[in-house]
Amino acid sequence: MALTKAAWMTRPCTSFHGRKASSCANTLNATKAAAMKRLRLAGFMVDVNITWREIRQDGSAIHARISLIAASCLANWQRWLLCSPFSMVPASPHSPRALLHVFNRYLYRGGEELIADKIHADLATRHDMTWCQFDSAEWTGDNAPSRLEQAKRLFYNRDARQSFESALDSSGAGAAVFHNVHPVGSPALYYAAMQRDLPVVQFLHNFRPFSVSGTLQVKGRLQPDALYGSYWKEVCAGAWQDSIVKSALFALMLKALHRSGWLQSVKAWIAVSDFMRQKLVTAGALPAARVHTLRHAWNAMSQPPAVEDVGYYLFIGRLADTKGVIPLLDAWDALHQRLGKNTPLLHIAGAGPLNTAVQQRLRTNPYIGQLGHIGGETKREALRRCRAVIVPSTWWEPLGLVVYEAYDYSKPVLAAKSGGLSEIVQHGVTGLQHEPGDVQGIVHDVLAMEATSAAERLVMGSAGRQWLLHETSTQAWLERFEEILAEAVSG
């Protein structure tokens, strides 16, 4: 017997503790295939199509549409989960030493992957650590789930939940440490943690789960509306994977997640800068009592190589709008026009969607060079020999690990006064700062650095390394994390 969508949404249902438990279980088994087709997704795709038509006339319509669909989504989730045999799972034994480490890796490896690996290694010195990892690459290639299946799993991935619970059972973890869980991990992980009464410590390396893009940036401009629950600007811009439909689905998922109460499983949120914490608390996205600041630790070189300066400036990062690549290229064109053959070299290291834009500039500006994605000895040499590292991010950069790397090599940093960067780059002491996206500001910083003597640049770089040694101790980081963890476990 197949239920209609209306019947599914209105039929009575109780948990397995109720008198209708047997009836619920039998009904679920009899209608599972039909219900799953209708549950969450069947109605969503129609509504998303309607929203797409409405966007062309009135973009603001999508916000109201998202709220309505999310409410329906949540109702469906709750009905299905209460009747699901997966909802009644015995609690796992709690171990104060064992932690489950959860991370959905991105398609392109970046700073979050690096820091997640470091956190795992650092915590392993005090805890029994078990990885529970997912990979966005699973949804690409010939073996990827269908688009419809991906859309379903974006909201609730039962396979991911089972993997999570299996890792939890085998590890005996008493708490979980979460990083990114989207898209493969899905909100199902928060629900599973809530059902197991498992406290979660959530690291915030960007602005998810409060932003579709994770960056709060739309077409090169910051749009903090998402922190207040309004995602329609990000959706209209196709902020997730350059797709309006995918972005709408992601927004629906976020709306439903926040309304579900599943995020109550997160007992402690860790922002990686005071700036990030302040923005989240001020917007009312999170309660102040549950948000902690804990900047990344760093294992500084015990014996750094001799400082060398051959005169070029170095950009290392993803070639994306958020990283300020276009303003940086524009600034180097302005420097070329002003200085001619005396223009300093700019070396750009990294890969990303703006790779073509960088290659086009190479043809017209001989003082811009492209290194591609670098690592190992190539990266070490690039850092050791540069004059300064440039970090021109235009989004609210949560922290900026590339600054740590520059300081480790005693290099000054020319950074945007953006997000957490303003906390770790001291203007005139460890580097220089400019307003985000300000082409002339970048030009001014480069000219100022060129006018600075070699001895003064060395002093500036040394100040950066001293800051690194003083502020990023792994031991201090571990002590602070233990305090946060203890608070999370105690409730």
Domain boundaries, the chain: 5-82, 94-296+474-489, 313-471
Contact 357, 326 (CB under 8 A): yes
Side chain identity at 461, as an amino acid letter?
G
H/E element holding 267? strand 266-271
Between β-strands 221-222 and 217-218, what pairing exists: parallel, antiparallel or unpaired? antiparallel
Edge to edge, the sheet with strand 413-416 lists 368-372, 346-349, 313-316, 388-391, 413-416, 431-434
The C-alpha angle 182, 184, 190, rounded to 5 degrees, equals 65
**Residue-level pLDDT at 110:** 78
Please tell me the distance from the alpha carbon of residue 347 to that of residue 369, in angstroms, as a whole number. Answer: 5
Q: What is the pLDDT of residue 65?
A: 54
Do domains 94-296+474-489 and 313-471 share one topology? The answer is yes
- Residue 56, Cβ density class (10 Å: 0-12 exposed, 13-18 middle, ≥19 buried): exposed
The answer to whether the Cα torsion of 121, 126, 128, 131 is positive or negative is: negative
Statement: 94-296+474-489 belongs to CATH 3.40.50.2000? yes
Q: What is the mean pLDDT of each run of 10 residues along the chain (491 residues)?
A: 39 38 43 41 39 46 52 51 42 62 89 92 97 96 94 98 98 97 98 97 97 92 94 95 96 97 98 98 97 97 93 96 97 98 97 95 97 95 98 96 97 97 97 97 98 97 98 96 95 74
CATH of segment(s) 313-471: 3.40.50.2000
Element (H, E) at 157: none
Cis peptide before 224 (omega within 30 of 0): no
The H-or-E segment that residue 200 falls in is strand 200-204
